[in-house]
Amino acid sequence: MVRPNPIALRGALRTINARSALPQRRLFGASARCLANEKPQQPSFKSQLYESTQQRLQRERAEQARFAQYQTQSPGSRYAALVFALVFFSTGAYYLGSLKPPALPSTSTSPLSELEPPKHNVTPSNLQAAWSDFVEILGKENVSTNQGDLESHSGSDWSSYSLKADEKPFLVIYPSTTEEVSQIMKVCHRRVIPVTPYSGGTSLEGHFAPTRGGVCIDFRRMDRILQLNKHDHDVVVQPALGWEELNEELVKDGLFFPPDPGPGAMIGGMVGTGCSGTNAYRYGTMREWVLSLTVVLADGTVIKTRQRPRKSSAGYDLTRLFIGSEGTLGLVTEATLKLTVRPKSENVAVASFPSIQNAAECVTNVVEAGIPVAGVEILDDVQMKCINASQTTSRQWKESPTIFFKFTGTPAAVKEQIGMVQKIASNASGKSFEFARGAEEMKELWSARKQALWSVMAMRRGPEDRVWTTDVAVPMSRLPEIIDVTKDDMTKSGLLAGICGHVGDGNFHAIILFNESEKKAAEGVIHRMVKRAVEMEGTVTGEHGVGLVKRDYLNHELGETTVDAMRRLKLAYDPLRLLNCDKVVRTELPAPGEVKEW
């Protein structure tokens, strides 16, 4: 095909246009109506042809120029241009693809190996901006950056977790209502700031260590009884109410809240760890005494898990899900608790034995006999020596393995139970048996059990000494064996280490005093104790909770897939991994050598 000469074509078109042009008319006095009705003139066919030809010629010249420029480039330049184009379009495609939400998981569990590390924003600028948000919500007086507050909300002397230097919150917040907690969590969710909840601070396994920094929410201003339903035997409380203060109020109405962990424990922490205490043998654990919870989720959503009836089959049991979750799934801001009638009569008895094995056998025999004692507590000879040496009680004790019994019921029932237990203790080589003969003596006899931890802490040789307190639980038939072997292991370690616990339900505690040079020996004793419990079909924690210290043992107790299912729950409720980071289950792969060999 022969192309027309562009210069000749342009000249012909100009001649045609000049001959066909009409004289321009001037319009004078034309009305607005005539102008409105006059139709615009359409360009002639020849004009359209000319314009189209011009556009095509311009495109062809541009393409020829680009091609000529490309031809003059060196091969290296052309390669660089090609690479640049590939990178540019690939980056653009990736960005556009990232705008699309990721596909929902198709599996039922979340193996740790499949997770990316959490991406929190703990930059100073983001945290300082959050401080302004919190001040607006709570007032400046309820947002603290005081160094003393930050340190006291990072760990404690009685925790078995050794805090790292950089594990400290940026600030501590003190809300007073569920709505304020919700607003706080909305800020943290929007700014991707990790949150550590804090209630009584009596936990033992590193539960409130701020491993990712961020902010700490202290519930101490939320310490009220919101509603007491005397006839229904239930009460609605806030999380910072202590169980001791609650029972002091309830005694006025003849009511009683049975779970009794260590002094100073508060309802929020008791729910979080699923605690129990000395009354667990008779009354059960915290799980049996919580009817309903109000919970603030990670994004600030507020939910209530149940109404107040004693039983319900309405859907999933979210109440039990949050009990024992240690603040990793949501923040408890209210709890509806079951109550019971205070016993008409109670008493305490103390029996000593020549060995820890004899004492454990006595407990097993009492349980097998079906005697409904309210509590069965054991302290070994080391514990009794510490109590005497520390003078934490008002009397001197026999420094031998000792069992503390608690009896409740009618006066006749209590008297009958004491007689039956006294006979069993005698048959188990009991050296002495003493029961209280009044309220003051009963309080005095029971005081030794409550002072177990503090008596060992009082034996510290210097400021570098620490106390490691932990627990396990096994089926009752294995209790004498595991206590005997653990006691022998402690003696061989050369450490000051005692045993105590709620042995009526197979749960016992180890309390070890150590310094930095003895830390490895203490870790060895605890590790072997936990391993024995798992091998005896027991649990790595009976009531202290998992926290940071016990999380890597869960795979051995429950199985890897069970822990993966727990991790899926964590990610479902807290996809940004903001709440009480790193507790219960890992959400990031451990560093090499961080997990102790089984």
Report pLDDT for 28: 39
CA distance 444 to 464: 32
Q: Number of C-alpha atoms within 13 angstroms, CB side, residue 48?
A: 4
- Find the helix or strand (DSSP H, E) in which 213 lies: none
Report yes or no: 214 and 170 within 8 Å, Cβ to Cβ.
yes
| Confidence class for position 101, pLDDT limits 50, 70, 90 | low
Supply the mean pLDDT for the chain: 87
Report pLDDT for 311: 93
Report pLDDT for 64: 58
CB atoms within 10 A of CB 587: 20
SS3 letters across 439-488: HHHHHHHHHHHHCHHHHHHCCCCCCCCEEEEEEEECCHHHHHHHHHHHHH
Report yes or no: 431 and 400 within 8 Å, Cβ to Cβ.
yes
| CATH topology assigned to domain 225-341 | 3.30.465
Category of 201 on φ-ψ map: left (φ > 0), alpha (ψ -120 to 50) or beta: left
Its sign, for the CA torsion 116, 118, 121, 122, is negative
Angle in degrees, 0-180, between the axes of helices 356-368 and 411-427, rounded to the nearest 10 = 130
Report yes or no: 540 and 471 within 8 Å, Cβ to Cβ.
no
Pick from 87-96, 104-113, 282-291, 412-421: least confident: 87-96
Report yes or no: 525 and 560 within 8 Å, Cβ to Cβ.
no
Category of 46 on φ-ψ map: left (φ > 0), alpha (ψ -120 to 50) or beta: alpha
- Tell me what the mean pLDDT of segment 283-301 comes to: 97
Report pLDDT for 403: 94
| Residue among 348, 453, 330 at smallest CA distance from 405 | 348
| Confidence class for position 99, pLDDT limits 50, 70, 90 | low
594 vs 243, which has greater pLDDT? 243
Asked if residue 21 has pLDDT above 50, the reply is: no
| Confidence class for position 398, pLDDT limits 50, 70, 90 | very high
Its sign, for the CA torsion 169, 520, 526, 446, is negative
Q: Domain segments of the chain: what residues?
A: 225-341, 345-545
pLDDT tens for each residue of 519-555:
999 999 999 999 999 999 999 999 999 999 999 999 9
Report yes or no: 222 and 175 within 8 Å, Cβ to Cβ.
yes
| Confidence class for position 79, pLDDT limits 50, 70, 90 | low
pLDDT tens for each residue of 24-45:
444 334 444 444 444 455 556 5
Instruction: Tell me which CATH code domain 345-545 carries.
Output: 3.40.462.10
- The single-letter DSSP state of residue 314 is S
Report pLDDT for 547: 95
| Confidence class for position 81, pLDDT limits 50, 70, 90 | low
Asked if residue 100 has pLDDT above 90, the reply is: no
CA distance 6 to 17: 17
- Tell me what the mean pLDDT of segment 43-51 comes to: 59
| Residue among 453, 433, 452, 407 at smallest CA distance from 353 | 433
Reading the block at residue 274, the tokens are: 């699923």
Provide CB contacts within 8 A for 104, sequence distance 6+.
Answer: none
Q: What is the pTM of this model?
A: 0.81
CA distance 311 to 170: 43
Length of the chain: 598
Q: How far lies 47's CA from each of 138, 297, 453, in Å?
A: 75, 71, 102
Q: How far lies 120's CA from each of 188, 202, 283, 563, 568, in Å?
A: 10, 28, 42, 23, 19
| Confidence class for position 74, pLDDT limits 50, 70, 90 | low
Report pLDDT for 165: 85
Report yes or no: 169 and 154 within 8 Å, Cβ to Cβ.
yes
Asked if residue 52 has pLDDT above 80, the reply is: no
pLDDT tens for each residue of 335-353:
999 999 999 999 999 999 9
